[in-house]
Every structure is written in structure tokens, then in C-alpha cells.
Amino acid sequence: MASTEPAAGNPPPRPARSDRSAWNLLLAVPVVVPLLTFLFNHDGPRLAGLPAFYWMQFAFIPLGVTCTAVVYRMTRKRG
């Protein structure tokens, strides 16, 4: 009869890892938002002389970093 306990010196098998989390959906924000160019494809308002299209593209960089950092912090394994 086979024993379910690990042999001496062998660690017990780890449970299957699951990376499924609702927090991972937040990673879609920095991918989808810049694709919605119809929301900001215009000249005004200007910021420091830059048309809205350009300065909003620059604003999406911190948005992507923030989303990635939040997902990392909320989904990392503790312990």
C-alpha cells in the first residue's frame, strides 16, 4: 500500500500556484487607455506649449507605473 507521506529527506509537494487574481485586471488599464485616442486626439488644452495628445501620453506613464505597483503589492506572496 502506497504511503501519502513524503519519503525521508524529500519535501512535501507544493500546491499548484495560481496567479489568478482580480487585481490582475488592473494591468489592462495602462494598455487600453492609450488606445482610446478619440478621448484626447485634439489640440487643446495645451500644457507648457504641448498639445493635449502629447502631454496626456506622458501622463499615462505614471498611470502605468502606479497600476503595476499596486498589482505587485496586492498579489505578492506573503510570508
Can you give the residue ranges of every domain in the chain? 22-75
DSSP string, 27-57: GGHHHHGGG-GGGT-SS-S-BTTB-HHHHHH
Residue 45 and residue 1: Cα distance in Å, rounded? 76
What residues have CB less than 8 Å from 51, skipping those under 6 apart? Answer: 42, 43, 44
Where do we find the cell 485634439? 42
Q: Which position has the higher pLDDT, 24 or 5?
A: 24
Evaluate if residue 33 carries a pLDDT over 70: yes
Evaluate if residue 39 carries a pLDDT over 70: yes
**Could you report the per-residue pLDDT of 44-79, keeping only the tens digit for each?**
899 999 898 888 889 999 999 999 999 999 998 876
Instruction: Answer whether 24's CB lies under 8 Å from 76's CB.
Output: no
Would you state the pLDDT for residue 77? Answer: 80
